[in-house]
Structure formats: C-alpha cells, structure tokens
Chain A
Amino acid sequence: MSLLSNLINGISLGSVYAIIALGYTMVYGIAKMLNFAHGDVIMVGAYICFFATGKFGLPFPAGVLLAMAVCTVLGVVIEKLAYRPLRQAPSLAVLITAIGVSYFLQNSALLMWKSDPKVFTNVFVFKDAAGVPQTGVSLFDGQLTVTYVAMFTVLMCVIIMAGLTLFTGKTKMGKAMRACSEDKAAAQLMGIDVNFTISMTFAIGSALAAVAGVLLCSSYQTLMPTTGSLPGIRAFTAAVFGGIGSIPGALLGGILLGIIEIFAKAFNSNISDAVVFAVLIVVLLVKPTGLLGKAVREKV
C-alpha cells in the first residue's frame, strides 16, 4: 500500500512540477533563455493568494485569479525591463541577469513579507457522508488516502496540458509562438510581432506559475520567500528531462521526476535532492535533448 500511496503522491507532486516546467519550456523554446526567476514567480503567486484569501477575505477562486493576474503582469514586466534589452547579448549575460531577477524577487519578498513561514490553508477539505470534514478519500479500509488536493492538482495539470496543446496547435497566437521558436528573423519577415509573442509567452508561463504556486502550497502548506526556488530548479530539471521546448515532454518529465523524488524521499529523506539532480545529469549526458526533445544541429 505504501508503494501505491507513494506513487499517487509522486504523480500529484509531478503534476505541479509539470505545470511549472511548462513555464520554463515555453520560454526556453521561444526566447532560448533559462528564466531562472520563474521559481520565484511561483512564490509571489502563492503569497498573493495567501493574502487575498486570508487578509482580505476573498473567496479562494478569486484569490487564485488575482494571483494569476499579478503574476502575469509581473512576468511581462520582468521580460520587458530585464530580458528584452539583452535579446542580442550572450547567453551568459542573460542567465546572470535572470539570477539577479530571482534574487531580487526573493529579497523583496523577504523585506515585504518577512522570513517567518506562513501556514497556507488547504481549501480542498470536504465533508463526508457523516458530516465530518475530510482532506481526502479513504480507500481499502483507510489503508490508502487520496487527498482532494492531489486529485485536483492532477486534474488541473491535465486540463492545462490539453488547453495549451490546443492553444499552440490551433490558434493564430500559438502558430506565431511556434514560428518564433523556429526562426525569429523569418517570423518577423512574415509579419509576426516577435516582441509581443515573447511577452505573451511570459504572460502565460507566469499565470501558470501562479496556479502551480497555489497548488504546491495547498499540498505542503508552508510558504516562505524561498519556497519557489528549489521547486523551480526541480521543475527545470523536469523540463530538461522531458525535452525542453516540448509540452508533452514537460508533462512526462514532471510526473517522472515527481515519482522519483517521492520514492527517493521514502528511501532516505536527506538525499532526495541528490537523486533528483543525479537524474538530471545522467539524462543530459545520455540524451542531451531529453526524452521527447528534438535534436538541433549546430550550424557553423
């Protein structure tokens, strides 16, 4: 039973990673940059939702929507101020800037919201037939509990994946995104506004980060200014694992990584990070394009 329950926890955690990984993978696919600050946008989203529902008494869905709106604006502003001026710069410069942005967000959060952990209330609590509030469904005479938040996370992840696949495949904006990721100059010649398309990508990625932040904090229930950074890096690992730039790859990589992490934790909780990162290294060395990624020839 513990095997099954680990598996379920892993899939649920992996779904959150998959949603975060989407933000990385879309930005990397189009802007060819590692947006190091993405993990901290998650944290901002979670804080916004926490304060909106806790302090201002907004209903939970309104809190999530507000968090998404704030993160969308944040993502677009970051792109405009910090990344756009460096579009032609070497990737080292862009990466260092992104690390700077990540530190900026973390330390602003530390100053504004202090370092003490906030307890995030889990709203996914429903009354059972007897009227007792339950956080999950008990199966097999209580040997296995599947929490509502886990179910909701997986459901959310599937909906987002399907929505995004449709969006990039069927809409005009999605087509523009794919064109930009193939060849920016050619896309521009075809009348696509490259800057606007990149802004849109950041907007979508950041809105998803807000959702991921709320889901992550609903399952783990603590919120600190550093909450986003490690899941951010793990999700990037997931994106690389699945093949960066590929949406199904983000789903596959996220879920596999979630499962690996939970099982490593069950084995020895101190080395779960080491295991996750070892997976990243092995994947990059054996298959540098990831599980579902396309190999790109280097041109001279």
Chain B
Amino acid sequence: MKQLTASRKQLMSNTVTYLIVIVSYLIIQALSTGGLVSPSIQGQLVPICAYITMAISLNLVVGFSGELSLGHAGFMSVGAFSGIITSLSLQQAIPFAPARLAAAMLVGAVCAGIAGFIVGVPVLRLQGDYLAIVTLAFGEIIKNIINILYVGVDPDGLHASIVNEASLGLAEGGKAILKGPMGATANVKLASFTAGFILVLIALTVVLNLVHSRAGRAVMALRDNRIAAESVGINVTKYKLMAFVTSAVLAGAAGALYAMNYSSIAAKKFDFNTSILVLVFVVLGGLGNIRGSIIAAAFLTVLPEFLRKLDLDQYRMLVYAIVLILVMLATNNERSKEFFAGLRRRFFGTRKGGARNG
C-alpha cells in the first residue's frame, strides 16, 4: 500500500467523518419519508443532533485541551433558555419559523459564549482536579440561577425578576416565558432534524478546522506539556480560553436546538447528570476523536429506546458506569496498554500510533 503523508491522511479522515454524517442524514431522511422510522426514534432525532454537537464541543475541551469540564450542561442550559426567550419574544417580529430558530440558536450560542468567557477566565487559571470541580460548581450555579429566574415579555420589552411571576409587572397582553423552577412551559416547538443536521455540520467544521490549525496545535501542545509549551512562547490563557469559549458557544447552540424540541423544559434537565452523560459519550468515543464522539453520542442516545423494549432500561446507567471504568482501566493501565499493543502487533504487524489525532 502506498504510504500516505500525514496531511493526506488527515484529509481522508476528515472526509470520512463528514461523509458519515451526511450519508446518515440522507438515509434517515429517505427512510422517514418512506415512513420506515418509528415514532420513538423520530422523536429522538433532534436530541441526537443536540447531543452530538455537545459531544463534539466537549471533546474540544476534554480531548484536545486536556481539561476535564464537568459543567458542560450549564452552557447548554444558558443556550436553551436564552434561545427560548429569543424565540418567544420575537414571535411577532419574525413569523418565519426557521429564521426564528436560527435567531434563537444564534442568541443561545452568543449567550453561552459570554457565559463561557466569564467562567473560563477564572477557571482556566486552575488545573486538573480543581478545574474539574470548579466547572462542576459553575454548572450548579448556572442551574440555581435559572431556577430562580422569572422572565416575561410584553409590548414594552423584556422583564426579569428573581422573586415571582407577579413581580414581573407585565402589561396587558404580556406573557411569562420563564417561570422559575417550572422553567419554560409554553414553548413553541421549532426544531427540525434538518436544523440539527446543519448544526452538527457547523460544529464539525468549526472543531475540525480549529484542531488542525496553528491554534489547535498550540492547544494540544498545552495539553501534552504545559510547561514546555509555555517556554516556547504559547500563551496558555489565550489558547485554553479559545478552546473553552468555542466549546461553550457550540454547547449553547445545541442547548437552544434541544430546548426548541420540547414544549416545556426546566433548568433541572441540564444538571450534573447531563454533563456526565456527555462526558460518557466523549470518553467512550475516544478522547480527542471527533468521529468517535459522533458515533458514541448517536448510538448511546438511541440505545435506551431499544433497552426499554427489552425491559433492560433500568440497568443502563449501571452499564454506563461499568463501561466508563473499564475503558479508563483498559486505556490507561500500563499492563493493559502493553497487552493491547501486543494484540495490534500480532494482527496488524505494525504499531499504530497517533490515536489522538481526530
């Protein structure tokens, strides 16, 4: 076989990733026009797209930047609720639904990006376990704040309060959008599978291009050896923040899309468990492997539907936990690493390197 250069190999790999996404979109569209997709799967299509985007964006932080973020659902939450507020308050201004969805996702992405910047500046000064626990803390704080937030809209504009619905002081014809712990209860569903597909493509393009750019290499250099990278003049804060904010922006857009798939949604949907779920997608797909994230997210979001049919759904989280531990043990233990390397040598003749290149 002809030896491929590194850049050719990368191009091939990226093309395969894009093709997988595009082909599976076309197949599913074709099947659903043929009426071959069951309603339960049909309902999962938008969440799958949202979770794929979440997994891609979290992989940027955990896989490429090497920082464990446990509050990714927080950014999803910011995106979701700012998206809902945008969509409901622009109902008259933009009657065309896809345009309103785009506006909601854009605002969601920008708000999450701002939140990511505010969180990132202090958080990225820390390292390792401390960073993980502080992102967890921020995720909980965001959830808490949205839980006490009341937002309403009337002809005068937006009103916000942290006391109760009555204190919004809405004028005639106004309506409350966010109702504290109850969340948004009268959302207009706008999300579609096509919108989700476009979002996944955008996320893929952004992350793959970032990772293979000069900035992406700087981010990875910081992950592999921070001190060495710093000593050749790589700005730690700048590049870590770049990865973190990009990831938050994509998570915000995914959150807005996700929220637009439901008529009522509350802040408690985006809790620590959701962050862990996305982390499971990333870890099982392979840290730093974008294609793996996509496949893992899609597969594990559909899996509960099948398990429910087999009445095994209650064991799902238990199995996730065991798989998470086993994957970590298999990929990080010296002895098991040697074992797998030996297997590869036996079957493929050569040692495969560069498993961390997306």
Contacts and interface: CB of A to CB of B under 8 A. Distances in A.
Contact of B321 (A95, A103, A285): A103
A86 to B, nearest CB: 6
B71 to A, nearest CB: 10
Contacts of A273: 140-141, 144
B148 A268 contact: yes
A268 B66 CA distance: 37
B100 to A, nearest CB: 31
Contact of B328 (A34, A97, A237): A97
Interface of B: 62, 66, 68, 70, 122, 125-126, 128-130, 132-134, 136-138, 140-141, 144-145, 147-148, 181, 227, 272, 276, 279, 283, 314-315, 317-318, 320-322, 324-325, 328-329, 331-336
B126 A90 contact: no
A148 interface: no
Given A82-B325, A101-B325, 12 more contacts: A92-B68, A97-B324, A106-B317, A110-B314, A233-B133, A240-B133, A271-B144, A273-B141, A274-B144, A274-B145, A277-B138, A277-B141
Contact of B147 (A104, A233, A240, A270): A270
A281 B276 contact: no
A271 B322 contact: no
A101 B141 contact: no
Contacts of B68: 92, 95-96
Dominant SS at the B interface? Answer: helix
A111 B66 CA distance: 34
Nearest to A86: B332
A217 to B, nearest CB: 21
A85 interface: yes
Interface of A: 28, 33-34, 82, 85-86, 88-97, 99-101, 103-104, 106-108, 110-111, 229, 233, 236-237, 240, 268, 270-271, 273-274, 277-278, 280-281, 284-285, 288, 298, 300
Given A89-B333, A91-B129, A100 B317 contact: no
A83 to B, nearest CB: 10
A111 B68 CA distance: 29
A268 B147 CA distance: 12
A281 B320 contact: no
Given A108-B318, A278-B141, A34 B129 contact: yes
Contacts of B227: 298, 300
Contacts of A278: 137, 141
A266 to B, nearest CB: 16
Contacts of A100: 321-322, 324-325, 328
B141 A274 contact: yes
B317 A103 contact: yes
A106 B283 CA distance: 20
A95 B134 contact: no
A70 B132 CA distance: 30
Nearest to B336: A85
Q: Of residues B68, B283, B325, which shows the largest number of chain A Cβ atoms within 10 Å of its Cβ? A: B325
A195 to B, nearest CB: 15
A93 B134 contact: no
CB-based closest 3 A-B pairs = A277-B137, A100-B324, A103-B321
A17 to B, nearest CB: 15
B329 A104 contact: no
B332 A93 contact: yes
Contacts of B128: 91-92, 95
11 contacts: A85-B333, A92-B68, A93-B328, A96-B68, A96-B328, A103-B321, A237-B137, A274-B140, A281-B137, A281-B138, A298-B227
A280 B332 contact: no
A104 B276 CA distance: 13
Given A90-B332, A281-B137, A270 B276 contact: no
